Amino acid sequence: MSNVGIVIVSHSPDVARGAADMVRQMVGAAVPLAYTGGNPDGGLGTSVEGILEAIDTAWSEAGVAILVDMGGAETNSEMAIEMLPPERRSRVVICSAPVVEGAVMAATEAWGGSDLDTVRRTAEELGGASK
Amino acid sequence: MASTQPHATQTQGALLRRLVLAVADRVIESAEELTRLDQAIGDGDHGLNMKRGFEAVRAALASDPTDDCGALLLGVGRTLVMKVGGASGPLYGSFFLQLGKDWAQISDRATLIACLRKSVDAVASRGKSHPGQKTMLDVLFPLVDALPGVLETQLPDLARLRDLAAERAQATIPMLAERGRASFLKERSIGHMDPGAASSSLMVTAVCEVLGEAFRTSGALLTPAGDQP
């Protein structure tokens, strides 16, 4: 069984790339990973098209966990999930967690071969975790 | 402006196309105003985002001469979803996607109203929001609520709809934002108009202007069956 994939969505392309760098440092190439940031013109914002591409890049039969920074990133990610083919739709979740810490935690959990639900729970438990 | 179009044999598709283009023009020319509103209580990108989205809508309409209303609306929805780059893309996009999906079911004024309500409901569920949270819904819901009364008469009172939209947008000024970036400001969001309510009001105004002219010239109502008195 393949590891759960991780997608990082931030309004800022720099934040998205930086968070992805931190994930790579932890898990190397063991976890499918993709990031996207910026609106369709490259300014601050998020793009449904970019999110769809990232999901595709990080696709894993075990599913994909998305980490988002705020507001529009979440709405656009929900929209992107709905636009996926039906057989993929139920295997993508958005984690309600801080984007950087959540991505690192989720990826570390995924690296151990945990299922999608466990990966998400681990990221979301961060709320009470000390940094 | 809309008056340059011939109207005698106007099809529903042509009228819908004029409506969408009028909405696009209004949004594009109001981009700075929307940005100013969003700078006060948000991240300041609403005007630019909406402009980008509706410029893409214009381009898509220009390259696709379809007369099929449902397909046209689905295309507008998809373009907004893909091109806006902020939450307003999926929000407004959901309105057009839902309306496009249901268009074929519209056969009279009652089904038109029901479909518009369903489309506004789609915006609410996309945004996980409801009226009273200082959003575009504070304009959109009162408008669909007013539709049965407005469409009761043979010649709908479109000025009333337009005024209602402006009034409801104004009414978001004293409200406390509970959704979106403005909610981070808590009570500091009070005293500013919600940019989404403002863009909704602008779009409704454009629709009312085009429809008003269509009624004056041909008595046409925008439903597939014509529904002409």
The per-residue pLDDT for range B70-87, each reduced to its tens digit, is 999 999 999 999 999 999
Collect all residues with Cβ–Cβ distance below 8 Å to B218 and sequence separation of at least 6: B7, B8, B10
Q: What are phi and psi of B5, to 5 degrees?
A: -85, 145
Q: What is the 3-state secondary structure (H, E, C) of chain B?
A: CHHHCCCCCCCHHHHHHHHHHHHHHHHHHCHHHHHHHHHHHCCCCHHHHHHHHHHHHHHHHHHCCCCCHHHHHHHHHHHHHHHCCCCHHHHHHHHHHHHHHHHHHCCCHHHHHHHHHHHHHHHHHHCCCCCCCCCCHHHHHHHHHHHHHHCCCCCCCHHHHHHHHHHHHHCCCCCCCCCCHHHHHHHHHCCCCCHHHHHHHHHHHHHHHHHHHHHHHHCCCCCCCCCCC
**Nearest chain B residue (CA) to A78:** B126
Contact residues on chain B for A70, CB-CB shorter than 8 A: 181
Contact residues on chain A for B81, CB-CB shorter than 8 A: 48, 79, 83
- At residue B82, what is the residue type? M
Position B181 scores a pLDDT of 86
Position B225 scores a pLDDT of 46
Q: How many CB pairs under 8 A join A and B?
A: 58
Q: Print the domain residue range for A103.
A: 5-128
Rounded mean pLDDT, B180-199: 92
Q: Would you call B87 and A45 a contact, using CB atoms and an 8 Å cutoff? A: no
Q: What residue ranges in chain A does DSSP mark as E strands?
A: 5-10, 33-37, 64-68, 92-95
What's the rounded Cα separation, in Å, for the pair B62 and B215?
Answer: 25
Contact residues on chain B for A43, CB-CB shorter than 8 A: 45, 48, 85
Position B8 scores a pLDDT of 37
Burial state string for B25-63 with b = 16 or more CB within 10 A and e = fewer than 16:
ebbbebbeebbebbebbbbbbbbbbbbbbbbbbbebbee
The per-residue pLDDT for range B90-140, each reduced to its tens digit, is 999 999 999 999 999 999 999 999 999 999 999 999 999 999 999 999 999
Q: Would you call B181 and A43 a contact, using CB atoms and an 8 Å cutoff? A: no
H/E segment holding residue A107: helix A99-111
| A31: CATH | 3.40.50.510
Position B220 scores a pLDDT of 59
Please give the CATH architecture assigned to the domain spanning B12-218. Answer: Alpha Horseshoe (1.25)
Res B3 pLDDT > 80: no
Q: Would you call B45 and A39 a contact, using CB atoms and an 8 Å cutoff? A: yes
Q: For A49, which of B82, B126, B180 is closest by C-beta distance?
A: B82
What's the rounded Cα separation, in Å, for the pair B136 and B220?
Answer: 28
The per-residue pLDDT for range B142-177, each reduced to its tens digit, is 999 999 999 888 888 999 999 999 999 999 999 999
A128 or A8, which is more confident? A8
B10 or B108, which is more confident? B108
N-terminal to C-terminal alpha carbon distance within chain A? 31
Q: Treating both helix axes as pointing N-terminal to C-terminal, what angle do B46-63 and B69-83 enclose, rounded to 10 degrees?
A: 140
- Residues from B in contact with A at Cβ < 8 Å: 43, 45, 48-49, 52, 81-91, 93-94, 126-127, 180-181
Position B136 scores a pLDDT of 97
Q: For A40, which of B52, B88, B127 is closest by C-beta distance?
A: B52
Contact B109, B221 (CB under 8 A): yes
Res A60 pLDDT > 90: yes
The per-residue pLDDT for range B35-72, each reduced to its tens digit, is 999 999 988 999 999 999 999 999 999 999 888 999 99
Collect all residues with Cβ–Cβ distance below 8 Å to A104 and sequence separation of at least 6: A19, A22, A23, A26
The per-residue pLDDT for range A83-104, each reduced to its tens digit, is 999 999 999 999 999 999 999 9
Q: Looking at the 3D structure of chain A, how many domains does it have?
A: 1
What's the gap between Cα A17 and its chain centre?
12
Q: Would you call A40 and B91 a contact, using CB atoms and an 8 Å cutoff? A: no
**Nearest chain B residue (CA) to A51:** B82
Partnered with residue B203 across adjacent β-strands are none
